[in-house]
Amino acid sequence: MKTKLKYFTAATAMTIFGLSGAAQAADYVIDTKGAHASITFRIHHLGYSLLTGRFDKFNGTFSFDEAAPADTKIKVEIDTASVNTNLGKRDNHIRSGDFLNVSKYPTASFESTSVDVTGTSAVVHGKLTLHGVTKEITINADHIGGGKDPWGGFRQGFTGTTKITLADFGIKYNLGLKAKEMELMLNIEGIRQ
């Protein structure tokens, strides 16, 4: 009862002072500093198993309004040299001209163009630039939750997946028939600025 009353009071105060956060989109910075965000990928190895890897370094921002989630805008930049598959020599190969060519293309980026919302799920359309090639991709995303954190901040979190075809981005190395496509998994938590 007590907590409900507190909430009621807070909501009333917000309405009175015109501070309702719901009416306006807020800017969030993806919490890579506290590592509450990750970009991982999965790809077939010989068609027998799935190999997972990740990009250790990236940064990004998004604007989000819980009342108007279709207006969400996302921007992410990835340091391609930070690829990590838990085997240094393989990471070196992935950084080479056979794959990411990181000396020529040190960053990959994603910028959303539009968002189709269904409940707490959404299809995020946007442009992915990888290996110097920009292509339209769609990410199937879910809003997991959001609210105050215990340290005075305010956070929103999402998860999303997408599939890309490596050859579409000019990465032509033969990894086998089943490894033409790669799955990307994004877990993003943003701190409101």
Choose among 62, 88, 92: nearest CA to 77.
62
Choose among 139, 56, 144, 142: nearest CA to 102.
56
Choose among 76, 157, 162: nearest CA to 123.
162
CB of 177 to other proteins, least distance (A): 12
- Closer residue to other proteins, CB minimum distance, 86 or 134: 86
- Closer residue to other proteins, CB minimum distance, 127 or 172: 172
- Closer residue to other proteins, CB minimum distance, 20 or 96: 96
Q: Categorise residue 175: left if φ over 0, alpha if ψ from -120 to 50, beta otherwise.
A: alpha
CB of 8 to other proteins, least distance (A): 50
CB of 103 to other proteins, least distance (A): 9
Cα within 13 Å of Cα(135), Cβ side: 16
CB of 6 to other proteins, least distance (A): 46
Q: What residue ranges bind other proteins (CB under 8 A)?
A: 56, 81-82, 84, 86-89, 91-92, 95, 102, 173-176
